[in-house]
Structure 1
Amino acid sequence: MKLSILDQSPISSNQSAREALEGSVKLAQAGEKLGYSRYWIAEHHDLPGLACPAPEVMLGCIGAQTKKIRIGSGAVLLPHYKPYKVAEVYHMLATLFPDRIDIGIGRAPGGSAEATNALSDNFLQQVWKMPDLVKELLHFLHNDFPEGHEFSGIKASPTPDIAPEPWLLGTSIKSARLAAENGLAYAFGQFMSDNDGRAIIQEYLECYKQRKRDQHPQVILTVSVICAETNEKAEEVALSSLIWSLQKENREGNQGVPSIQEAKQYILNEKEQATYSKLKQNMIIGNPSFVKQRLKEMQAFYKADEIMIVTITYSPKDRISSYQLIANEIF
């Protein structure tokens, strides 16, 4: 089973943003040593408790402090940017770190309406143009605009020997079809979706095969996991993440991921208890053998080639330990 890491660069209540970002570097280094295939870092804008608005900056830092693990964005939020600039940035990274760069493409705003307006004057119009933006970006990544196109005379420099590997990230039928139509690998965000992921991935696979692509379609399934030595310990560690999710929903999570003790003191009302149960059902929480069993079941159910794990804990040690326990059990 291929396993990878998605890092949202969470800030715990006792951390600074710098400490959280330093923790991201350490996580990527640990992932490499443990045998994980990729490390992706997410893009968020002015969201309390999340430290990374610029994956491309962190990827330069992380690439310089790792040797072989694939690194990438999960995702670059394309409607905010011109495809040409995105291609230049990721060509630069692919030149510095050959055959290691992934470019995950997403269309979410990644922040509040106010942050979105500060980033872009026409975000919604760009979302509608997403299919065109994706095609334009792919042409720039491969420098293969047809002759006569307005951009055929320019290149996204520097041109790396091996282009970044593009992935389309999504949680909908629309994103699945867009990935298939463009011959792209597809990453489904199960951890952040209530949609029927199995049906969405099946749509991707069928649309991809209908176009008779030479390459095999690739699917990553991204799941939220907390692993510890025992089920009881995993439940305790997961409490911080679950309570923080509730706090963010109530716009109370500005202090970052709460400690386990702080989370235990949080009193749930009736509505929050229902939300808590729903959030927990969408996670895998347990000891290594339980996590291994659930990951294998999910891989088979969703027909995924690879599982990408996102883990949020209060303690950086608990986070790395979770990935280590899973790796030791599976690899």
Structure 2
Amino acid sequence: MIKLGVLDQVYVSEGRTATDGLYEATKLAQETEKLGYARFWVSEHHSMRALAFSSPEVLIAHLAAATSSIRVGSGGIMLPHYSAYKVAENFRLLEALHPGRIDLGLGRAPGGMPLATRALQQDKYVDINKYPQQVLDIVGYFHDKLPAGHPFEKLIASPVIPTAPEVWLLGSSGESARIAAMLGTSYAFAEFFGTPGGEEATHYYNTHFEPNEALEDKPRSMIATLAICAETEEEADRLARSADLLFLGIRTGLEMPYLPSVQTATDYPYTEMDRLHIQQIRQRRVIGTPAQVKEQLLRMGESYNVSEILINTPIHDPEARIRSYELIAKEFGMTGK
């Protein structure tokens, strides 16, 4: 059976605050741990009013401390903004605090608009082509195996510990799959972005994987998708309207300052073009009853040839959101605590 996890972007819901959103994320991590979900990942985005945070490493520390067994990680750290050494130090510390529970997902994307990128990279020259070397440097720091002749060969990423976080490369393109296969890391495809070519990307990764003695000896891939589940099709469709309007704003450049309520989304004055956009967006969504959601997730897992799926569920009502994960867990026969 396919393994399921959680991807939480920690939205600020309409009528609530960022603090509320962070509280809801903590409760969701605790509840999904009880249900038997394998991972709980948080993303990195900057200068977006609808999101309650922009620093995944800080939030990971909080979420890992609030749970006891679920793996907690980044989906992901946008590495070109940062020093590989500092990222290695941060995540080694997290691993020392929570051994065997920390995942480091890495991405090449900016995670925000150009102005945020300029601020993050102020007075710094960034060469995106150095991304593969940055990844290898992090692996070297994690395992105290920087190659001979490396300029930082004798440098230690504290604390020195016997375990290391899992390293995943994230992407929504074939290029990220190529780099992950070449470096021998695990690979996660952002299916919920709606970018075509995901099946080809994961196939390339699985067939061109080169083992890394410090990491993986065989390919390991997963996808992240958006799924909303309820007892009836009608209720699932109703709950999904909030995400429809949120992602419509992202697509059309009219960014929402929050995750809208179902009522706001229902009352919104959609144009015919808006409805066409939503229809297209819905083609990449898993929405329905438990049986329908299970069927679609299993079909996606087979199509992408992955053994793990992270589920992102932007529902305005926090209790309905937890219920969605409960229904999916029950349908898959998951056994938690």
- TM-score class, shorter: over 0.9
The one-letter code sitting in structure 2 at the alignment partner of 1:50 is L
Which of 238, 253, 261 lines up with 2:263 in the alignment? 261
After superposing on structure 2, the runs of 4+ consecutive aligned residues of structure 1 that deviate more than 4 Å are 209-214
From the superposition, tell whether residues 214 and 323 of structure 1 become closer, same or farther in structure 2 (CA, over 3 Å): closer
Deviates more, 1:294-303 or 1:116-125: 116-125
What are the Cα deviations for residues 229-272 of structure 1, in whole angstroms up to 9, with x where unaligned?
11100000000111111123344444301111111111221221
Which residues of structure 2 form unaligned runs of 5+?
none
SS in 1 for 2:152: coil
> 1:128 offset after TM fit, Å?
2.5
> 1:214 offset after TM fit, Å?
7.0
Matched residue, 1:72 = 73
SS in 1 for 2:297: helix
Which residues of structure 1 form unaligned runs of 5+?
none
d(CA) in 1 for partners of 2:229, 2:157: 42
Matched residue, 1:245 = 247
d(CA) in 2 for partners of 1:136, 1:241: 38
Matched residue, 1:22 = 23
Query: Is the 1:173–1:200 contact (alpha carbons within 8 Å) kept by the matching residues of 2?
Result: yes
SS in 2 for 1:125: coil
Equivalenced residue count is: 331
Matched residue, 2:290 = 288
Matched residue, 2:82 = 81
The one-letter code sitting in structure 2 at the alignment partner of 1:259 is S
The one-letter code sitting in structure 2 at the alignment partner of 1:230 is T
From the superposition, tell whether residues 108 and 41 of structure 1 become closer, same or farther in structure 2 (CA, over 3 Å): same
> 1:171 offset after TM fit, Å?
1.2
From the superposition, tell whether residues 58 and 241 of structure 1 become closer, same or farther in structure 2 (CA, over 3 Å): same
Q: Where does 1:1-331 land on structure 2 (aligned, <5 Å)?
A: 1-121=2-122, 125-208=126-209, 215-330=217-332, 331=334
What are the Cα deviations for residues 144-178 of structure 1, in whole angstroms up to 9, with x where unaligned?
11233221111110022210110000011110010
d(CA) in 2 for partners of 1:193, 1:143: 38
> 1:210 offset after TM fit, Å?
8.8
d(CA) in 1 for partners of 2:129, 2:273: 35
Identity of aligned residues (%): 39
d(CA) in 2 for partners of 1:251, 1:169: 24
From the superposition, tell whether residues 207 and 62 of structure 1 become closer, same or farther in structure 2 (CA, over 3 Å): same
> 1:44 offset after TM fit, Å?
0.9
What are the Cα deviations for residues 300-320 of structure 1, in whole angstroms up to 9, with x where unaligned?
111001011111011111111
- Pairwise CA RMSD of aligned residues? 1.7
SS in 1 for 2:287: strand
d(CA) in 2 for partners of 1:23, 1:84: 32
d(CA) in 1 for partners of 2:249, 2:272: 15
d(CA) in 2 for partners of 1:25, 1:265: 31
d(CA) in 1 for partners of 2:118, 2:319: 37
What are the Cα deviations for residues 105-124 of structure 1, in whole angstroms up to 9, with x where unaligned?
00111111111111103788
d(CA) in 1 for partners of 2:270, 2:125: 36
The normalised TM-score by structure 2 is: 0.94
SS in 1 for 2:50: coil
